[in-house]
Structure 1
Amino acid sequence: MEYKLPKDFLWGGAIAACQAEGAYDERGRGLSVSDVAIFSTAIDRKNLEAHRSMTTEKITAAMNYNGTDIYPKRHGIDFFNRYKEDIALCAEMGFKVFRFSIAWSRVFPTGEEAAASEDSLEFYDNVINEIVKQGMQPLVTISHFEMPLALVNKYNGWADRRLIDYYIRFAETLFVRYGQKVKYWITFNEINAGRFSTFKSTGVVEDKSENFQQDCYQAVHHQFIAAALATKICHTHNPDNQVGCMIARFTTYPATSHPDDVMKMHIDEQLDNYFYTDVMIKGKYPRYMTRYFQKENINLVFADNDLEILKNNTADFLAFSYYMSMVTAAHQGGLEETESNLKRSIKNPFLESSEWGWQIDPVGLRYSLNTFYDRYEIPLFIVENGLGAEDILTEDNKVHDTYRIDYLSRHIEQMLEAVKDGVEILGYTTWSSIDIVSSGTSEMSKRYGFIYVDLDDFGKGSLNRYKKDSYDWYKNVIATNAAELEYND
């Protein structure tokens, strides 16, 4: 049998509310975890570790600061007011699907309100209606690093089981309101970020925890239960809708062929990737985690019916982000390290790197697709793949981003190879459709989009949108269903 992309393959792009919307203090919106993510030239902007840590002191300082200049996610790219223009530009590229998120702190400002903000629901009515009107499918991420900050301050985030009920109230509100127009849902963005970028993923603050690692895994367990319950509720309201789980894919190679390095790679794959997907797709905790929890003195608290909830409400598809691969070793001493998504890695001498040190590995995408599909045999959805770079806007308002075209075309080539291998893929949404504030470093200089936004790291600029060279290239890729990947300027 010959495998090839289906005609209804879901080509598109993605954004997140916390990086795009702005309007952080309009219409009663509450602060979110992303609103306290600072950008400062005093911090090494290409060192993610400097941006990941969060303390009670930092949160208090952010809450007492009313501006947006050093907290760029508060202003985003003004998608809140410019969504029609941005959606139309994506539709012109031929997008079949538009991935975005709904800001929890906009709909439920503190997370504890008995009723949702009707003003905010109407805003998302308009966004979804515009996506559908422009001929695209909405792909909605329910929670994408934008949980209400009030839930952090009161409960230490997802470490507290009560957040399950607050999340379910939020999710069910969305299913009831938008379920007839939204077919595809993702419960949590990169749920494994709870281990590497804990605060923005789970809201757990280390100085508020007596046992931080225990709280991290307890928080993830609560998110597992919330995701399973949300899947059940979505199917109850709209049986034809599909609910996916999502992780950041950490594709890992051993530093050498030494058995210890190979074993380390295997364990890293389990802890970084498969633990999360095994629970959400197989519906049970894998046995290898028992040994890890015992070793680390982690004792998770389960409610009586938690295992039944997980077993009976597994994900319909597996979504993941893929940007790079990494290397691991049993003994890392003396080995050069580099940055990657959410955590650092040993540098691979056989790969080139982006300006931010992320190692570019298109073949790793094919490897990841095959290993995921071999393990689960459910549809896969690549919902983030892209290159962050410092784009230059010329005097005639052009951006010649051939480096982005090269990156994306090589990854799409490997995706097509995986399809030929027999892997079932629902769609491919690049990160991102338009330039937005960086998730990791809260800067604008690290650009991913097909559309340039005239805005600098400190919120200065016209906010005008300009098409990059990659815009027309991707438009042709979609039109030909990836039959043409070369760039002709």
Structure 2
Amino acid sequence: MYKKQFPQQFPDNFLWGGATAANQIEGAWNIDGKGLTTAEVVRKAEDRKKMSMNLVDEESIKEAIQDQTTTNYPKRRGIDFYHHYQEDIRLFAEMGFKVFRFSIAWARIFPNGDDADPNEKGLAFYDRVLDELEKYQIEPLITLSHYELPLALTQKQNGWLSRKTITAFEKYTRVVFERYRGRVRYWLTFNEINTGTWGFHETGVVETNLSAVEKETVRYQALHHQLVASALATKQLHEIDPKAKMGCMLARMQTYPASCRPEDVRAAQLEDQKNLFFTDVQARGEYPEFMNRYFAEHGIELQMEQQDETVLAENPVDFVSFSYYMTTVTSAQQGEEVNGNMATGGRNPYLEESDWGWQIDPVGLRITLNEMWDRYRKPLFIVENGLGALDQLEAGKVHDDYRIDYLRKHIIQMKEAIKDGVELMGYTMWGPIDLISFSTSEMSKRYGFIYVDQDDDGKGTLKRIKKDSFYWFKQVIATNGAQL
């Protein structure tokens, strides 16, 4: 009888840590030579349950440029990580972080995206961040593009709709790969690349007077250029720093059928295919066949150059990373919808919801880990997962048992997936310190183990305060996930 032992716990080299983005933490938006980014011209949302990041046109960009304040553009101020990075990294080290995920702001290195020479002050800032991480033996995991395209590239060539942006990206990535060779083992190209099907925040493309078909075509065309740029960056990294690894990053939106009715099952399969299409290209090196039918039936014609397919085929990523916040339900018929982290779908009556209406589904994480492992057979990395909540500071403390409960349940399912045979590299929860919300640009939506004294209007001392979850996660890391 065949018997083989299966893993019982997290691997000894498991990477525990947290994830952030430059446009949500750094601040310092107009100093030391930094250029304006697309994230910094998106106004804060008026309704915390409605995302505002794609309500951008030429007129709103002009207004944003003329407005030199942070009042309507909170991502410009972040939580001032630019000046607090030593304190913040020290707190991460106290928790025992093995890895810290952050992004490089392209416009801090090349203010206009395609300048003749890089901005030395920008490079020097990330030198200092890496120095601090090395002091505490924390691995950096760097995202090259996290919703922060240099705005000048949008104004000059409409962002990723132009192939010229591939060239600009190649120049930027070469500079940072050479600068940080031997210091960074793990890189990601584009954050949640699949969300580019929603528009501006990812692609930097201003869509004016377009029909529905034209708009979708423009988005997939821009995303094709990103996929090519991702492959070229992977090629560069392997040549410049052969020991380093490149990953892709997907906003995973696991979809369930509303019933066992075959039409509903097929509807869910279609949603998952559209979600996984991008990782198919980046991990497998080719466009999946099912997209041929989708493009044809939706009137989408992409312009590709002769070498594009070869570039994609020859440069797949080394590992697959993704964010996971919620699952959705879909049906062949329209039903009540819920929203969260770019996911839109039917309400699941068996799940609880966060303060923002995001449905909480820990078991769904085990399901998606198994499905993605079976599909790609490449190491997986959960680089975002967390709970945005209305934390209350009382007598200098934050008692966030609800966050501990959320994370505990998800980590339990991660361990179950490892027992299932999934090769899981690490887990960087979003975000280890309170930061500006991506979707609404508010501060009230808090994720962190560390409370930051700042309100939605930017008022506060910026003092960092450890929440109850800080001490809980410290124990999780110290025991490598054994004590939850």
SS at match of 1:11: strand
Q: Take 1:139 and 1:82, find their aligned partners in 2: how far apart are those partners?
A: 19
SS at match of 1:378: coil
1:450 matched to which residue of 2?
449
Cα deviation 1:158-198 (Å, max 9, x = unaligned):
011110010111111110001210000000100001012x1
SS at match of 1:63: helix
2:330 matched to which residue of 1?
328
Cα deviation 1:19-41 (Å, max 9, x = unaligned):
0000100012111011012125x
Q: Are 2:238 and 1:235 equivalent residues in the alignment?
A: yes
2:274 matched to which residue of 1?
271
2:349 matched to which residue of 1?
349
Preserved contact between residue 156 and residue 208 of structure 1 (Cα < 8 Å):
no
Q: Take 2:15 and 2:399, find their aligned partners in 1: how far apart are those partners?
A: 26
SS at match of 2:102: strand
Q: Take 2:463 and 2:252, find their aligned partners in 1: how far apart are those partners?
A: 33
Letter in 2 for 1:168: E
Q: Take 1:26 and 1:345, find their aligned partners in 2: how far apart are those partners?
A: 41
Q: Are 2:28 and 1:23 equivalent residues in the alignment?
A: yes
Cα deviation 1:418-473 (Å, max 9, x = unaligned):
00000000000000010000000000000101000000111110000000000000
1:164-179 to 2 correspondences below 5 Å: 164-179=166-181
Q: Take 2:81 and 2:209, find their aligned partners in 1: how far apart are those partners?
A: 34
Q: Take 2:55 and 2:262, find their aligned partners in 1: how far apart are those partners?
A: 34
Q: Are 2:219 and 1:220 equivalent residues in the alignment?
A: no
Among residues 6, 24, 40, which one is paired with 2:11 in the alignment? 6
Q: Are 2:254 and 1:251 equivalent residues in the alignment?
A: yes
SS at match of 1:214: helix
Letter in 2 for 1:367: I
SS at match of 1:339: strand
Shift of 1:343: 3.4
Preserved contact between residue 434 and residue 449 of structure 1 (Cα < 8 Å):
yes
Q: Take 1:136 and 1:261, find their aligned partners in 2: how far apart are those partners?
A: 45
Letter in 1 for 2:12: K
Q: Take 1:219 and 1:281, find their aligned partners in 2: how far apart are those partners?
A: 19
Q: Take 1:179 and 1:141, find their aligned partners in 2: how far apart are those partners?
A: 15
SS at match of 1:224: helix
Q: Take 1:447 and 1:39, find their aligned partners in 2: how far apart are those partners?
A: 16
Letter in 1 for 2:390: E
SS at match of 1:320: strand
1:113-192 to 2 correspondences below 5 Å: 113-192=115-194
Preserved contact between residue 383 and residue 429 of structure 2 (Cα < 8 Å):
yes
Normalising by structure 2, we get a TM-score of 0.97
Preserved contact between residue 53 and residue 200 of structure 2 (Cα < 8 Å):
no
Letter in 2 for 1:261: D
Cα deviation 1:179-236 (Å, max 9, x = unaligned):
210000000100001012x111010112175722111001110000000000000000
1:292 matched to which residue of 2?
294
Shift of 1:52: 3.1
Q: Are 2:389 and 1:385 equivalent residues in the alignment?
A: no
Q: Take 2:272 and 2:351, find their aligned partners in 1: how far apart are those partners?
A: 20
Preserved contact between residue 52 and residue 440 of structure 1 (Cα < 8 Å):
no
Q: Take 1:53 and 1:80, find their aligned partners in 2: how far apart are those partners?
A: 28
Q: Take 1:219 and 1:147, find their aligned partners in 2: how far apart are those partners?
A: 13
1:260 matched to which residue of 2?
263
2:468 matched to which residue of 1?
469
Cα deviation 1:103-134 (Å, max 9, x = unaligned):
00111011010111011101100001111111
Shift of 1:329: 0.9
2:479 matched to which residue of 1?
480
Preserved contact between residue 42 and residue 55 of structure 2 (Cα < 8 Å):
no
Letter in 2 for 1:411: H
Among residues 51, 66, 69, which one is paired with 2:68 in the alignment? 66
Preserved contact between residue 253 and residue 343 of structure 2 (Cα < 8 Å):
no
Q: Take 1:428 and 1:56, find their aligned partners in 2: how far apart are those partners?
A: 39
Aligned-CA RMSD value: 1.0
Residues 208 and 179 from structure 1, CA distance in 2 versus in 1: closer, same or farther, beyond 3 angstroms?
A: farther
Preserved contact between residue 245 and residue 318 of structure 2 (Cα < 8 Å):
yes
Residues 167 and 209 from structure 1, CA distance in 2 versus in 1: closer, same or farther, beyond 3 angstroms?
A: farther
Q: Take 2:416 and 2:371, find their aligned partners in 1: how far apart are those partners?
A: 13
Preserved contact between residue 172 and residue 233 of structure 1 (Cα < 8 Å):
yes
1:47 matched to which residue of 2?
50
Letter in 1 for 2:415: L
Cα deviation 1:369-405 (Å, max 9, x = unaligned):
000000111100000000000100112x100000000
Preserved contact between residue 384 and residue 430 of structure 1 (Cα < 8 Å):
yes
Letter in 1 for 2:297: K
Preserved contact between residue 209 and residue 215 of structure 1 (Cα < 8 Å):
no
2:394 matched to which residue of 1?
394
2:317 matched to which residue of 1?
315
SS at match of 1:270: helix
Shift of 1:53: 2.4
Letter in 1 for 2:338: T
Shift of 1:51: 4.3
Letter in 1 for 2:38: V
Residues 208 and 26 from structure 1, CA distance in 2 versus in 1: closer, same or farther, beyond 3 angstroms?
A: farther
2:40 matched to which residue of 1?
35
1:417 matched to which residue of 2?
416
SS at match of 2:426: strand
Cα deviation 1:240-267 (Å, max 9, x = unaligned):
1000000000010011111111100001
Residues 179 and 209 from structure 1, CA distance in 2 versus in 1: closer, same or farther, beyond 3 angstroms?
A: farther
Letter in 1 for 2:168: Y
Preserved contact between residue 22 and residue 80 of structure 1 (Cα < 8 Å):
yes
Preserved contact between residue 141 and residue 189 of structure 1 (Cα < 8 Å):
yes
Q: Take 1:229 and 1:146, find their aligned partners in 2: how far apart are those partners?
A: 19
The runs of 5 or more residues in structure 1 that have no matched partner are none
SS at match of 1:344: strand
Q: Take 1:445 and 1:39, find their aligned partners in 2: how far apart are those partners?
A: 12
